[in-house]
Amino acid sequence: MLEQSLLWDHLFSFSEFGILTYKRTHTGDPNAAGMFGINDCMGSVRNLLYDAVIGVGGIGAVPRDYKIDGKITWVGIYPTKRPGDWRRGPLINILIKD
């Protein structure tokens, strides 16, 4: 349980302002239309409450291949969850600044 908790703390963090910060391994989610979760990225984490999202490229081989390693790759605000059942979490319409 402690190991899972440490992993959670490493992958996701929330500020007092409801900002979800997460580590990305690839591009394409969110898509150009502002749909977060289109490739089911972040799964059930998309169900959490937040006002904004910051995607940061990881430091492994895959993020390096996508040239996003260690970089802020996108910021999204005003998330709106789309109703319906979509894989592990809802699709989110979000205003993106990348």
pLDDT score of 2: 44
Question: What pTM, to 2 d.p., does this model score?
Answer: 0.76
CB of 89 closer than 8 Å to CB of 50? no
- Of 74, 80, 84, the C-alpha closest to 94 is 80
Cβ count within 10 A of residue 61: 9
Domain count, the chain: 1
Span 15-71, pLDDT tens digits: 566 899 989 999 999 998 999 988 888 888 888 889 999 999 999 999 999 999 999
- Environment class of residue 50 by beta-carbon count within 10 Å: exposed (0-12), middle (13-18) or buried (19+)? buried
Task: Find the domain containing 49 and state its range.
Answer: 2-97
